[in-house]
Amino acid sequence: MKKTYLFTLGLAVGAILPFIGCNKNKDIVIGGVAPLTGEAATFGTSTKQGYDLAVAEWNAKGGVLGKQIKLAFADDKGDPAEGATVYTKLIEQDKAIAILGTVMSKVSLAGAPICQAAKIPMIATASTNPKVTDVGPFIFRACYIDPFQGTVGAKFAFDELKARKAACLFDVGNDYPKGLSEFFKAKFTALGGEVVGFEGHATGTSDFKAQLTKVLAAKPDLLYISDYYSDVAIMAKQARELGFKGPMLGGDGWDSPKLIEIAGSAVEGCFFTNHYAKEDKAPVVQEFVMKYTDKYKAAPDALAALAYDAANIMLDAITRAGATDGAAIQAALGKTDLRVVTGQVKFDEKRNPVKSAVIIEIKGGHEVYKTTIAP
């Protein structure tokens, strides 16, 4: 009996000990949140690397407001409950003056009320759910929202690809693909096109032939696949096997070198909307791609770019605010007009960035910049 209590006591003391005596340095602390483990771990890794790169650059230039920047990073595991805990930790324990993150909308939605209540400005990097910034005036985001990407996709399909009959395929268990398909459908129909198929599939399946056969029977000119690259690759292959010859179009979930690796020629001549193109000649883009590739030995994906941008937007706002209090930074953020990797960023009245989207074409086994579509 005594041994048990001692054991428990030891466990408790061991668990509580690290909390004592933290953060006594004089740096400016910026919080960073991303899912390093869990279902979105690959996105989280890119995101963290984006934060790290931006903060390292600013520190090399002398930091912000004459002080070095310390990035207090926390893993949200892609879970809302963890999210609520880590946002509180960064604010209360690490005394972060501003927070970057996070990727998944459900986690940002759990973190946003905490930042709003503490009046700590927050920039979500890749949370596309419109509700995130609705939480309050301290919540911003670096990416465009679902309606925008779906709308741009529909515009491109109708105007440039001259498609008149489209079919949508998406994962019903995931808010992002579902939202994208819904907004694509709305815009495409409004433009005068016809959506001849609108089929969801369950999360984690790898056989889409039933859904594909059904939508292909209606003879669409174009398939709009709003899933993530892993599903897209399999779906594209199966669509080709079933004899579909037209173009396929998707969203930024396609942005991964793995897509072409898995799908091969099946995705040749397909398009997707994205946040930026690596071939963009703008110096800020080229410099970012070069530095990132140099440091991490991998090409930066859209999530890394968005994280890098979020950090730059925040640090730029702190510089302009000239102060570290939340209200001043929030006011400065609202007046942002900055060229970052994913475009010229200004915030609208709902604190969503107003910027353009690019269309990427898959040509000869490579991702090639096709065009830019303004909102």
Partner 1 sequence: MGTLKKMKLVLAALTFYAVVQVLNLAGILNGYFMVIINRSLIAVIFAVSLNLINGITGQFSLGHMGFAAVGAYVSGTLTTLFFHLNLNHPFDNLGFLAAILLGGLMASLAGFLIGFPSLRLKGDYLAIVTLGFGEIIRTILNNISYVGGPRGLLGIPKFSNFTVIFLFALATIVLIRNLVQSSIGRSMLSIRENELASELVGVDTTRYKVLGFVVGAFFAGIGGGLLAHLLQIAHPTQYGFYASALILIMVYVGGIGSLTGSIIAAFSLTFLTEGLRVGIDWLRDTVGVPIGTEWTMVIYAVLLILIMLFKTEGLMGMREAKILIIKEKEG
CB of 248 to partner 1, least distance (A): 22
Interface with partner 1 (CB under 8 A), residue from 42, 57, 68, 80: 80
Interface with partner 1 (CB under 8 A), residue from 96, 109, 145, 270: 109
CA distance readout (Å), 84 to 31, 107, 142, 300: 13, 8, 20, 28
**Site map (CB under 8 A) of partner 1, residues 126-165, x = contact:** ---x-x----------------------------------
Q: Does 374 participate in binding partner 1 (rule CB under 8 A)?
A: no
Residue with smaller CB distance to partner 1, 86 or 318: 86
Q: Does 298 participate in binding partner 1 (rule CB under 8 A)?
A: no
CB 320 within 8 A of CB 329: no
Q: Does 290 participate in binding partner 1 (rule CB under 8 A)?
A: no
CB of 82 to partner 1, least distance (A): 9
Q: Does 84 participate in binding partner 1 (rule CB under 8 A)?
A: yes
Stretch that binds partner 1, among 108-116, 137-145, 212-220, 226-234 (CB under 8 A): 108-116
| Interface positions, 21-40, toward partner 1 (CB under 8 A) | 22, 36-37, 39
CB of 170 to partner 1, least distance (A): 10
Q: Does 46 participate in binding partner 1 (rule CB under 8 A)?
A: no
CB 94 within 8 A of CB 29: yes
Size of the site for partner 1 (CB under 8 A): 48
Interatomic CA distance for residues 178 and 195, integer angstroms: 15
Interatomic CA distance for residues 95 and 216, integer angstroms: 55
10 Å CB burial of residue 210 (0-12, 13-18, 19+) is: exposed
Q: Does 7 participate in binding partner 1 (rule CB under 8 A)?
A: yes
CB of 137 to partner 1, least distance (A): 16
CB of 4 to partner 1, least distance (A): 6
| Interface positions, 301-360, toward partner 1 (CB under 8 A) | none
Q: φ, ψ for residue 259 (rounded to 5)?
A: -60, -55
Q: Does 224 participate in binding partner 1 (rule CB under 8 A)?
A: no
Interface with partner 1 (CB under 8 A), residue from 18, 66, 243, 364: 18
| Binding stretches for partner 1 (CB under 8 A) | 1, 4, 7-8, 11-12, 14-19, 22, 36-37, 39, 41, 72-75, 78-81, 83-86, 88-89, 91-93, 105-106, 109-110, 113, 129, 131, 172-175, 178-179, 202
